[in-house]
Amino acid sequence: MDDAAVHVLVFPWPRQGHINPMLHFATALVDAGVQVSFLHTERNLRRLAHAPPVGLRLLSIPDGQPDDHPPGFLELQESMSTTGSAAYRALLSAAGADSTVTCVVADSTIPFAFDIADELGIPSLAFVTHSACSYLALLSMPKLVELGETAFPADDLVRGVPGMEGFLRRRDLPRGLCCAEKCGEDPLVLKLAEVTARSSKARALIVNTAASMERSALAHIASCTADVFAVGPLHAKSRFAASTSLWREDDGCMAWLDGHEDRSVVYVSLGSLAVITHEQFTEFLAGLAATGYAFLWVLRPDMVQMASSALLREAVGAAEGGRGRVVQWAPQRDVLRHRAVGCFLTHAGWNSTLECAVEGVPMVCWPFFVDQQTNSRFVDAVWRTGLDMKDISDRGVVERTVREVMKSDEIRGMAQAMAQQLRRDVAEPGLSSSEFERLVRFIEELKH
């Protein structure tokens, strides 16, 4: 490593939905002539399905968890902030493997990354892998609690998130997993609100979004942070075409899609973390079957509580007589780009939302947790590029909503207009592209 050079350490939260956008970000920095090291956990480094982009150096630290144990968010926060943080400190400090680092860009959910960088005198920036709207909702949690607006489920509009007073309901607020009566009492949401508040104190925030999608939320965030760079959607112009997956993709589904008419298939995926009950699975399956459309369904082996993947495949096969196709993990960006896909039934994770938006595919949303609740409200009520089923997974609702979205020229028109705008944003001299250039200059100046 050249001692005089700008050298950025990119540190994602060790989950698929965080690694993907930060890997595209790191690749873009390399392309801009910046030296970049990318920090994985040891577990994820072993799991990587593909080689990294050329020019990117990979490093790793332990996550403090046994190998056979897939930890939850809070558990991982705990072990990363002890075992992981000690290794991170050693890596960055004078004698460490990355002592030439001039700037850390860490995931907004890793507070110790900022604290330790501060202690060592290294400037740090926070990277937000979720939407600006959900970041603002998390940042507003103290206000929402103060106003008593966190009880759900409820259709009441909330006043506590600036700029969203006219359409954001209590049921669109970030939600955890423990079924707490109020999201303001949920341990996961509280933790995320706490780390969000910490990240807002960083030198700057980098958000994987476009101003054309989230102008108002970005302006409100800018008013309470030092600087904000909206540089997304990063995958849309990434040179790193290979997958960033931790799972092996089943490419066979592409040939299966080739055999279908244009816009005739429903693509179904709930991302990398959602776990559904057997009853929810049955309702989705019955609803999809009743639409009469072919569907491609990503069912990770660990995704349905108490059910083996063989059993699930059998259930889909029996119900569908061949019209359904199940994979454990799909090449999602290729699938969304395929002419046969007519809509995406999604959990509205932010990467999935952006990948879908860039391809102009209409969405049916069934948000699972946290940011997805807010994203799905924006899809339905603000961008009008899809419909939001919210917390309902009843077969009748699934059938009606999928049918409506597959048939709606209006929704498809909105989705396609958004796709065109996003492509302009990431191309030069689009707004996201200019913001990325401004960010590179900002990072270069931090060295002086």
**Taking the complex as a whole, how short is the minimal distance between the CB of residue 349 and ligand UDX, in angstroms?**
2
Instruction: Specify the long-range contacts of residues 428-431, CB closer than 8 Å, at least 24 apart.
Output: 431/210, 431/211, 431/212, 431/230
Minimum Å gap between C-beta 276 and ligand UDX is: 13
Residues 299/324, Cβ–Cβ less than 8 Å: no
Amino acid at 98: D
What is the closest distance, in whole angstroms, from the C-beta atom of residue 15 to ligand UDX in the complex? 6
| Comparison of 140 and 272: residue with beta carbon closer to ligand UDX | 272
Q: Given the residues 63, 98, 107, 186, select the one marked as catalytic.
A: 107
Asked if residues 233 and 262 have their Cβ atoms less than 8 Å apart, the reply is no
Cβ 43 to ligand UDX, closest distance in Å? 16
Query: Minimum distance between the CB of residue 447 and ligand UDX, rounded to whole angstroms?
Result: 29
Interface segment toward ligand UDX; rule CB under 6 A; list 315-323, 350-358, 388-396, 417-425? 350-358
Sheet with 294-298: strands ordered across: 324-327, 294-298, 265-269, 341-346, 363-365, 386-388
Which of the stretches 10-18, 113-121, 148-156, 389-397 binds ligand UDX when contact is defined by CB under 6 A?
Answer: 10-18
Q: What is the DSSP string of 23-41?
A: HHHHHHHHHTT-EEEEEEE
Among 140, 196, 372, 393, binds ligand UDX (CB under 6 A): 372
Closer of 18 and 390 to ligand UDX (Cβ)? 18
Which CB sits closer to ligand UDX, 88 or 329? 329
Q: Is 401 in the site for ligand UDX (CB under 6 A)?
A: no
CA angle 144, 149, 155 (to 5 degrees): 135
Under rule CB under 6 A, residue 129 binds ligand UDX: yes
Beta partners for residue 61, in sequence order: 41
| Complex with ligand UDX: residue 233 or 342, whichever CB lies closer | 233
**Alpha-carbon distance 168 to 173, whole Å?**
8
Helix, strand, or coil here: 298? strand
Q: Is 251 a catalytic residue?
A: no
Is 34 or 327 the residue whose CB approaches ligand UDX more closely? 327
Using CB under 6 A, pick the residue from 135, 240, 297, 350 that binds ligand UDX. 350
* 107 catalytic per annotation: yes
- Cβ-based nearer residue to ligand UDX, 152 or 329: 329
Q: Is 374 in the site for ligand UDX (CB under 6 A)?
A: no
> In a 3-state reduction of DSSP, which class is residue 72?
coil
Burial class (CB in 10 A: 0-12, 13-18, 19+), 185: middle
**Residue 330 or 422: which CB sits closer to ligand UDX?**
330
| 133 lies in the binding site for ligand UDX (CB under 6 A) | no
Partner residues linked to 127 by β-bridges: 107, 206
How many residues make contact with ligand UDX (CB under 6 A)?
Answer: 24
Stretch 270-289 residues interacting with ligand UDX (CB under 6 A): 271-273
Residue 390 binds to ligand UDX (criterion: CB under 6 A): no
Candidate residues 329, 344, 378, 383; the one interacting with ligand UDX per rule CB under 6 A: 329
Is position 351 an interface residue for ligand UDX (rule: CB under 6 A)? yes
Candidates 56, 192, 298, 361; binder of ligand UDX (CB under 6 A) is 298
Q: What is the dihedral of CA 266, 231, 17, 79, to 10 degrees?
A: -170
Pair 88, 82: CB distance under 8 Å: no
Which of positions 229-248 make contact with ligand UDX (CB under 6 A)?
245
Cα(74)–Cα(369) distance, rounded to whole angstroms? Answer: 14
Which CA distances in Å does 189 have to 13, 217, 310?
A: 16, 19, 34
Query: Could you say whether residue 130 binds ligand UDX (CB under 6 A)?
Result: yes
Q: How far is the CB of 205 from ligand UDX (least distance, A)?
A: 14
Q: Does 225 bind ligand UDX (CB under 6 A)?
A: no
**Which residue among the candidates 18, 24, 260, 338 is catalytic per the annotation?**
18
Residue of 176, 187, 98, 125 lying closest to 369 (CA atoms): 176
- Residues 423, 418: Cα–Cα separation, whole Å: 9
CB of 358 vs ligand UDX, minimal distance in Å: 11
Instruction: Pick the closest to residue 422 from 232, 239, 229, 230 (CA basis).
Output: 232
Which positions are annotated as active-site residues?
A: 18, 107
Residues that bind ligand UDX (CB under 6 A): 15-18, 20, 129-130, 245, 269, 271-273, 298, 329-330, 332-333, 349-352, 355, 371-372
